[in-house]
Amino acid sequence: MGAYAGKKAVVTGGTHGIGLATVKRLLDGGAEVLLTGRNEDNVAAARAELAGRAAHVLRSDAADMADIDALGAAVAERLGAVDFVFVNVGYAEMRPLAEVTEEAYDRMFAIKAKGAFFTTRRLLPMVNRGGSFVFTTAVLDGFGFAGTSAATGAVAAVRGFASAFAAEFLPLGIRVNVLSPGFTQTPTMGIVFGSEAEREANQKAGEELTPMSRHADPEEMAAAALFLGFEATFSTGIVLNAHGGLATVAG
């Protein structure tokens, strides 16, 4: 029997990268999973890739309160009670302070911070005692990089929410933890790049700045998320730094 047989999970931002790797591990382990994404093409690709498996793929924009409400209704209808919620939606525009417009700031916080907050509020009543939430932040959540202030603020907000939720959900028997990824080799690298040159610079920076001298594989992040979600049963309110040593050891 698989490690997650009989378990039900929601993965927001599950259509590619770290989210999709986590979805596949859950499915391989016997779980039933509802996953979301916003981009229609990516939703369709995930639906095709996961066809025939115990997966429900829903287009849902984390920045849209009506979509969050519809997500809650879909979870209630298709899964009922839930054991694991991975709040993994990512959106990051990296710009120096002088180039961050009000619109860009609002977009960043609406998707990453407000989305995580209200997704949690909507799904909490469906999470079983003994279940857990994991929130994805980023190495930025506790470490300053120039040219990332809006993204840093948004992931730090999520880290803060998770800390308070962990305390608030204690009486419900629901754990809350944070996965903080470092540079990870996903299709987007977690960033909305303005050009191919920016993408290449980010690739190089990841290799140079990370003491392990490489980007993580999304599988490594999925393993960390599921460790927090299911195995770390005496941990709540923690941040698992999966940074390849970045910000923790000298390279």
**Strand extents, DSSP E, the chain:** 8-12, 32-37, 55-59, 82-87, 127-136, 175-181, 239-242
Site for ligand NAP in 44-73 (CB under 6 A): 60-63
Can you say whether the dihedral through the CA atoms of 132, 244, 46, 51 is positive or negative? Answer: negative
Q: Which is nearer to ligand NAP, 2 or 248 (CB)?
A: 248
Residue 92 found at the interface with ligand NAP (CB under 6 A): yes
CB closer to ligand NAP out of 89 and 124:
89
Are 137 and 159 a contacting pair, CB within 8 Å? yes
Q: Which residues are within 8 A (CB) of 213 and not within 5 positions of it... i.e. 6 or more apart?
A: 207, 251
Residue-level length of the chain? 251
Closest CB to ligand NAP among 124 and 138?
138
The stretch near ligand NAP (CB under 6 A) out of 30-38, 117-125, 167-175, 231-239 is 30-38
120 binds ligand NAP (CB under 6 A): no
Contact 93, 192 (CB under 8 A): yes
Rounded to a whole number of angstroms, the minimum distance from the CB of residue 164 to ligand NAP is: 19
- Give the residue with the Cβ less far from ligand NAP, 76 or 217: 217
Stretch that binds ligand NAP, among 17-25, 75-83, 95-103, 122-130 (CB under 6 A): 17-25
Q: At closest approach, how far in Å is the CB of 148 from ligand NAP?
A: 11
- C-alpha torsion angle, residues 206, 211, 212, 214 (rounded to 10): 10
Beta bridge partners of 184: 216
Between 131 and 181, CB nearer to ligand NAP? 181
**Interface with ligand NAP includes 119 (CB under 6 A)?**
no
88, 144, 190, 249 from 13: Cα distances, Å:
5, 25, 11, 30
Answer yes or no whether residue 22 interacts with ligand NAP by CB under 6 A: no
Question: Contact between 236 and ligand NAP (CB under 6 A)?
Answer: no
- Residue number with CB closer to ligand NAP (15 or 149): 15
> Contacts with ligand NAP in 169-188 (CB under 6 A)?
181, 183-184, 186, 188
What sign for the dihedral angle of Cα 226, 228, 231, 233?
negative
Residue 229 as a binder of ligand NAP (CB under 6 A): the answer is no
Map tokens 């519809």 to a residue: 70
DSSP state of 112: I
Size of the site for ligand NAP (CB under 6 A): 32
189 touching ligand NAP, by CB under 6 A? yes
CA atoms within 13 A on the CB side of 93: 18
Enumerate binding residues for ligand NAP (CB under 6 A).
13-19, 36-39, 42-43, 60-63, 88-92, 111, 136, 138, 181, 183-184, 186, 188-190
